[in-house]
């Protein structure tokens, strides 16, 4: 490995190309701005120079050529970065070719190069950008496999209310949970988990039984693509239902009370008849 590194260094020196790496990745949260630093150690004025920023060695991020750049009429910038990238004009005289990417997206994560092709020797800087995603509904971002809004149904049972959540065609496999209005996870049973053929995603059915009046939410999370979506349902249970009484038990209690009342009345009539 050491011999290989030395060989690569010799090759770069022979070809007139030098490479500089930043100390670590630039880490930001999705939606914030990211500054990618690129400065010449000589601090020479680069207002009349050319520097070119690329992502993953192919996508045109920002190009400056003696005052002409993507924000003042030059064409060729990748659609992903249009209107979101700018440089620091006042810093060019100090050899600073840094850029700022505004309103970062998860898709902006990757390896960036800042290249000075006309300098002797040529200089190229490497910077890694990591954009941390925020869980949110990403269906409108055209992400393949992003789960659609789950289908929720309810069914009254003798033990309370049965909640059922159905998710279809999600990929990668999502986490499905039932939660109450306070965000507490409700114990549930995975009734079905099946994977469609040829990468068609996962179908999941999740059931949970609740015994209180509340708003319940079926939450579907795909952490790998920072996608989260949910559906809600409101459950209203009477006090008797919350105590675990079924409709049959209530009817039986009413009938018993009715017959006891009738028997009591008959006994009272007979007693009065005998007294007379």
Q: Give me the pLDDT at residue 196, please.
A: 83
Q: Are residues 98 and 179 in the same domain?
A: no
* 30, part of any domain: yes
Lowest pLDDT segment from 33-37, 117-121, 216-220: 117-121
Tell whether the model's pLDDT for residue 16 goes beyond 80: no
CB within 8 Å of 127: residues ≥ 6 apart? 22, 25, 26, 36, 37, 38, 111, 112, 113, 114
* 263, part of any domain: no
Spell out where the chain has E strands.
17-21, 26-29, 34-36, 50-55, 59-65, 68-69, 85-87, 99-101, 110-116, 122-132, 151-157, 160-170, 175-179, 185-186, 189-195, 202-210, 214-222, 227-235
Per-residue pLDDT, averaged over 154-166, amounts to 95
* 7, part of any domain: no
Q: Are residues 120 and 151 in the same domain?
A: no
Q: Are residues 125 and 190 in the same domain?
A: no
Residue 197 banded pLDDT, cuts 50, 70, 90:
confident
Residue 14 banded pLDDT, cuts 50, 70, 90:
very low
Residue 45 banded pLDDT, cuts 50, 70, 90:
very high
* 273, part of any domain: no
Q: Which residue has the higher pLDDT, 269 or 188?
A: 188
φ and ψ at residue 54, rounded to 5 degrees: -135, 155
* 55, part of any domain: yes
* 64, part of any domain: yes
Q: Are residues 148 and 191 in the same domain?
A: yes
pTM score, whole prediction: 0.61
CA distance 218 to 206: 9
The last residue of one of the domains, among 132, 163, 187, is 132
Query: What residues does 233 pair with on adjacent strands?
Result: 216
Per-residue pLDDT, averaged over 48-60, amounts to 96
Q: Are residues 143 and 207 in the same domain?
A: yes
Please state the separation of Cα 267 from the chain's center in Å. Answer: 73
Cα-based angle 74, 75, 79 (whole degrees, multiple of 5): 130
The last residue of one of the domains, among 132, 160, 195, is 132
Q: Give me the pLDDT at residue 261, please.
A: 67
Lowest pLDDT segment from 12-26, 177-191, 200-214: 12-26
Among residues of the chain, what percentage have pLDDT more than 90?
Answer: 68
Average pLDDT along the chain: 85
Q: Are residues 127 and 145 in the same domain?
A: no
CB within 8 Å of 90: residues ≥ 6 apart? none
CATH of the domain at 68: 2.60.40.10
* 2, part of any domain: no
Q: Are residues 34 and 59 in the same domain?
A: yes
* Each residue's pLDDT tens digit, 223-260: 999 999 999 999 999 765 444 445 555 556 566 666 66
| Full residue range of the structural domain in which residue 28 is found | 17-132
Q: Are residues 167 and 115 in the same domain?
A: no
Tell whether the model's pLDDT for residue 15 goes beyond 70: no
Residue 5 banded pLDDT, cuts 50, 70, 90:
very low
CA distance 125 to 39: 9
Q: Are residues 173 and 94 in the same domain?
A: no
* Each residue's pLDDT tens digit, 62-119: 999 999 999 998 999 999 999 999 999 999 999 999 999 999 998 899 999 999 999 9
Lowest pLDDT segment from 1-10, 25-34, 82-91, 249-258: 1-10
Q: Are residues 26 and 65 in the same domain?
A: yes
The last residue of one of the domains, among 75, 98, 132, is 132
Q: Are residues 56 and 98 in the same domain?
A: yes
Tell whether the model's pLDDT for residue 11 goes beyond 60: no
Please give the tally of structural domains in the chain. Answer: 2
Q: Are residues 36 and 69 in the same domain?
A: yes
* 258, part of any domain: no
Residue 165 banded pLDDT, cuts 50, 70, 90:
very high
CA distance 262 to 267: 9
Q: Give me the pLDDT at residue 273, please.
A: 57
Across 11-15, 128-132, 258-262, the highest mean pLDDT is recorded for 128-132
């Amino acid at each position: 490995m050491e011999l290989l590194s030395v060989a690569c260094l010799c090759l770069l020196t022979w070809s007139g190309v030098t490479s500089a790496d930043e100390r670590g990745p630039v880490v930001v949260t999705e939606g914030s701005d990211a500054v990618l630093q690129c400065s010449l150690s000589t601090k020479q004025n680069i207002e009349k120079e050319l520097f070119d920023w690329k992502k993953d060695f192919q996508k045109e991020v920002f190009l400056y050529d003696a005052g002409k750049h993507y924000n003042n009429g030059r064409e060729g910038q990748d659609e992903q970065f249009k209107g979101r990238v700018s440089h620091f004009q006042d810093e060019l005289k100090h050899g600073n070719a840094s850029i700022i990417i505004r309103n970062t997206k998860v898709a902006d994560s990757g390896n960036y190069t800042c290249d000075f092709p006309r300098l002797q020797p040529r200089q190229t800087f490497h910077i890694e950008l990591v954009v941390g995603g925020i869980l949110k509904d990403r269906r409108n971002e055209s992400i393949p496999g992003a789960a659609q809004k789950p289908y929720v149904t309810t069914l009254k049972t003798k033990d309370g209310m049965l909640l059922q959540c159905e998710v279809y065609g999600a990929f990668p496999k999502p986490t499905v949970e039932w939660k109450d209005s306070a965000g507490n996870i409700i114990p549930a049973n995975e009734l079905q988990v099946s994977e469609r053929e040829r990468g068609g995603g996962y179908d999941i059915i999740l059931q949970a039984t609740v015994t209180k009046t509340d708003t319940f939410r079926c939450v579907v999370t795909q952490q790998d693509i920072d996608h989260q979506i949910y559906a809600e349902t409101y459950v209203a249970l009477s006090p008797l239902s919350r105590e675990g009484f079924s409709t049959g038990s209530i009817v039986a209690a009413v009938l018993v009370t009715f017959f006891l009342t009738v028997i009591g009345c008959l006994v009272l009539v007979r007693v009065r008849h005998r007294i007379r």
